[in-house]
Structure 1
Amino acid sequence: MEAKFQTFLILLAVLAGTALAARRINIAPAILLMLSGVGLAFVPGMPTVELPPELVLLMVLPPLIYSASVAMSWREFKNNLRPIVLLAVGAVIFTTAMVAAATHYVIGLPWPIGFLLGAIVAPPDVVAPLAIARRLNMPRRLLVILEGEGLANDATALILYRFALAAIMVGNFSLPLAAGEFLLIVASEIAFGIGVGWLSLRFRKWSGDPQVELTLSLITPYVSYWLPEHVGGSGVIATVACGLYVSWNGPLLISSATRLQGIFFWDLVIYLIEGMLFLLTGFQMRTLYEKSKAFPLDDILIATAVVLVIVVIARFAWLYPATYLPRMLSKSLRTRDPSPPWQWPFVLAFTGVRGAVSLAAALALPFTLPGGEAFPSRDLILFVAFGVIFVTLIGVGLTLPPVVRWLGVAEAGRHEHAAAHEAEIAARRQALEAALESLDALTAQKEVSEEVMRLLRARHEIRVSQLPDSLDPNHHDVSAAGTALTRDLIAAERKFIHNLLRDGQITDETRRRIERDLDLEEASLANREYRGGPL
């Protein structure tokens, strides 16, 4: 137990150090984390750290999916539902079929094994490419489609995975029966996820305690995931539905204290989960290397190369017809949603990184069939899954920024972000005006002294004055200088408060209350700087 705890502390230290290094050299942390995991796996004396598949599928996946769903805008998800479904369902099924055909005719794998391998490597992971894409100022719609696809494609792949695995274990398969079961799973999980989200928000509002609410928020994804998964579904769709319901209905039911604490709490949870996931994925290289000694290397390399080429080609081959063919066939769609430039589907097709869910699905394969025979091609599937994950993560992670710049997609994103920022300034100004109108209405109903009215109006005038009038670069320079000076003033206040505490003029409890106000003011500065800084 002590050795395991020491290993855990080492992984935490590597996680923190790698994140700092990634920020310094401006590279996606997922790339360095996976490479660090591979390097650590071969350090002499380092114990073998295996990635239990149930850890990913039952413990890690629910909070990742739920957090991404809550962060997703339901309106944007709904407005882009057609391309999201085409990718999350259509592209996964198409890729699975292409991999099955290629491995059957080129490598000679049986059709059921080929479909199983296809379902494992078909769903792209969204964590690494989305983190890179956000830093590149890509258009918002591309980010929404990528994020929406990442939320739902695991469900399609895991359902196909179970169908293919059942066909291998039992020996028969019915396409009409599987299609009907697929639709039943989707409909029932959506209803169940919405129900869990509704109950979660009501319990959280009833509790009225931030610590209890955060505990309930941590339990929510597991409740929405485990029950559907236990009865034969995927659990992913229910978790996505739950998260989207909370995202849309939560703002009016969740208290401000819970929301502020929840941001930091969930940021830390997701940071640790994602980092450990990429580290442990890299650690699997040692186990696979030891197994590969009893396996022909040529077979591993050929199979990995074939599957890698197919998953890349299949995504491009699906995306361009899926983008332009519906618009060619439907005039109303062309009018409502004009065709995007060819660079947009290229970027979406290019971001086909495979992740830990693919590896977990491969690791979860049984060792034997019901009759006692060894599961066919199990080690080969493991090698291919890890190879596809490794190559796509490193390759796409390193080449996506120059590809986006070469295509000129970031320029369109910058204009879009500027327009969004203008709209944000206008919304903030209108909200303050609405608050002032409410103040007049409230004072007409209640007896409020003139002094209180003057203080409240002064507060709103200060907040209005802090809003920029435009996105002019000179204004941003002035704003940045004012923000830096305000931080210096806050630091001076902190130092003075610390001196008062040291001299015994105030208590620790008083110091903490004052520091909390200063922390909130500094966090507000950081939020304004992030939202309103140079684009």
Structure 2
Amino acid sequence: MDPLTTFVLIGALVVAAAWLAPRLRLPAPLVQLLLGLLVGLLPQVRSIHLPSDAVLVLFLPALLFWEALMTPLREVRRDLRVILLLSTLLVVATTFGTAGIGVALGWGWLPALVLGAALAPTDATAVGALARALPHRNVIQLRAESLVNDGTALVIYTIVIGLAASGAHYSGWEITGLVGLAYGGGAAVGLLAGLLGTFVLRRLTDPLLHNAALVLVPFASFLAAEQIHASGVIAVVIAGLYLSRTGPRSGTPQSRQQRDGFWTLATSTLNGALFVLIGIEAQSAMRSVPLASIPMLLVLCVLIWIAILLIRFGFQMITTWGIRLVDRSPAQRQKRMTHRARVVSTVAGFRGAISLAVALAVPADMPGRAEIIFVATGVIILTILAQGMLLPAVIRWARFEPDTMVAAEFTRAHRAALLSAIHASPGLAREIDVPEHVRERVVEEYRDRLERIGAAPEPGRSTRRDLDHDYAALSLALVDHTREVVIRLRNHGAISDATLHRLQTRLDRDALHLTPASAERHD
């Protein structure tokens, strides 16, 4: 199938799945994967293959960068000890546990370890797409773990492939050096990319230039890290985390609005394409192994999938007991999670793009490559389909407390910012020479907003919040009417398309400002 046809087909499947998902009451990634599996049955689609370089060079830097950019560092620091344990030692334990099952069923240690390294890390994009219903803290912990554990898995993979290719022997110091270079070198490159990115972005006021430079950051950091044989994944994550701190002081409102729109569209499209391609790749993997070996390989998929869940849950229990033995401080007690929360974390440990990319990157001349790809693809599908469909029920069973932290913080921050603005208004008005009646008008608007924050409705009486929603709904209806008038003027030849575009841009800004308040009115 030619590239253009492939592009159109995958794009159509991504859009169709996004449209079907809410109607089927299923997460979009599940529907995308299922559509990929169905389309993979067509003979014309069998020629589509997912190159490992495309995942590692095109998909991962963009997806991981946006995940890191949207990951709050405060929450990461709070659970840093657990995140580091899960993203390093758990990856090692999962690799060897998975490899042990393969060896028990007749595999050699080297292909079994390659398979283990591929399936050890959880996938940040799958977690972000499928675990959104979790409380804020749990989601952040899972995302942070998924952002870091890819580096550990890729180091293990590099060592095993080196052993398989040349029979080289790695001493303990050499392995330590590889790990140190992967993490230390990747972190250093990522930090440098974040510093240079901040320096450049703060000097670019044009929204297009600003966002074009931002798009270059993840790919440049990934490339620079790979050039020194460090972890490109770690470099991208560190650059994203750094820019998440410095980004709010760079750019303009237009560039930030453009950034959010672009990255939301790009990452959701790339995510969807990955899930569709995983489904298509499953058909290719099935055709690449001897027919007689498929039943045993399917059994191996199920056994490894169960083992991954058991290892993850057992590791969390052991590390929890260990931390409680060495740290009994009150601060640590406040961080404790219930056993039910650990079950949720176990079920939410999805495998995805990085696992498939590692499996596909196995050298073509390595014995057992086809079987590695088959089993890796099968386990990925099991985690996404089975765990993805099971997760909502497990979340309900876990009986999490209502997650009001983010909403409460928003209210406190909004109130503090408005109060500070009101108090600062006299000095600012004098500084920029604004008449007093203008200042009073602006301050009155701020006081209205302050009064509406957290307003509680009284029986039989409309609150200021209700009036605000009514005001927004009417204003939005008037904006829509105005837009129709402008379009009719263009259609009758009274104004040009350029004039229409300028007026519509202004009306769209008004509509975006009004839409959230209007939508709340109908919630």
| TM-score, normalisation: structure 1 | 0.90
1:170 to 162, 166, 169: 166
1:522-533 mapped onto 2 (5 Å cutoff): 522-527=511-516
Residue in 2 aligned with 1:251? 248
Change (3 A) 1:342 1:198: same
Alignment-mate amino acid for residue 482 of structure 2: E
Instruction: Tell me the distance in 2 between the aligned counterparts of 1:247 and 1:472.
Output: 40
Shift of 1:325: 2.5
Indicate conservation of the 8 Å contact 2:470/2:518, yes or no: no
2:226 to 224, 229, 234: 229
Indicate conservation of the 8 Å contact 1:92/1:157, yes or no: yes
Identity %: 28
Q: Over aligned residues, Cα RMSD in angstroms? A: 2.6
2:195 to 184, 195, 198: 198
Shift of 1:520: 2.3
Moved more, 445-454 or 349-358: 445-454
Residue in 1 aligned with 2:398? 407
Correspondence 1:281 to 2:270: no
1:413-424 mapped onto 2 (5 Å cutoff): 414=402, 416-417=403-404, 419-424=405-410
Residue deviations 1:87-116 (CA, integer Å, cap 9, x gap)? 111211110121122322x11323232222
1:337-486 mapped onto 2 (5 Å cutoff): 337-368=334-365, 375-409=366-400, 412=401, 414=402, 416-417=403-404, 419-464=405-450, 466-470=452-456, 483-486=472-475
2:504 to 493, 498, 515: 515
1:115-154 mapped onto 2 (5 Å cutoff): 115-134=113-132, 136=133, 138-154=134-150
Change (3 A) 1:208 1:291: same
Instruction: Tell me the distance in 1 between the aligned counterparts of 2:458 and 2:52.
Output: 52
Indicate conservation of the 8 Å contact 2:181/2:229, yes or no: no
Correspondence 1:155 to 2:154: no
Instruction: Tell me the distance in 2 between the aligned counterparts of 1:459 and 1:180.
Output: 60
Alignment-mate amino acid for residue 380 of structure 1: E
Change (3 A) 1:525 1:314: farther
Correspondence 1:215 to 2:212: yes
Indicate conservation of the 8 Å contact 1:204/1:254, yes or no: yes
Residue in 1 aligned with 2:287? 290
Instruction: Tell me the distance in 1 between the aligned counterparts of 2:331 and 2:445.
Output: 49
Residue deviations 1:228-279 (CA, integer Å, cap 9, x gap)? 1233222111111100000001101222111010000111110111111111
Correspondence 1:181 to 2:167: no
Instruction: Tell me the distance in 2 between the aligned counterparts of 1:353 and 1:58.
Output: 21
Give the SS at the match of 1:285: helix
Shift of 1:280: 1.1
Change (3 A) 1:272 1:400: same
Alignment-mate amino acid for residue 387 of structure 1: G
Residue deviations 1:27-48 (CA, integer Å, cap 9, x gap)? 1111111111111111243352
Moved more, 20-29 or 468-477: 468-477
Shift of 1:186: 1.2
Moved more, 300-309 or 90-99: 300-309
Residue in 1 aligned with 2:15? 16
Indicate conservation of the 8 Å contact 1:22/1:28, yes or no: yes
Indicate conservation of the 8 Å contact 2:282/2:374, yes or no: no
Residue deviations 1:301-325 (CA, integer Å, cap 9, x gap)? 2322332222121111111122332
Indicate conservation of the 8 Å contact 1:103/1:306, yes or no: no
Q: Which runs of 5+ in 2 are unaligned?
A: none
Instruction: Tell me the distance in 1 between the aligned counterparts of 2:157 and 2:481.
Output: 59
Give the SS at the match of 1:146: helix
Residue deviations 1:177-216 (CA, integer Å, cap 9, x gap)? 2023212321222121111111112112223211111111
Indicate conservation of the 8 Å contact 1:300/1:384, yes or no: yes
Q: Which runs of 5+ in 1 are unaligned?
A: 369-374
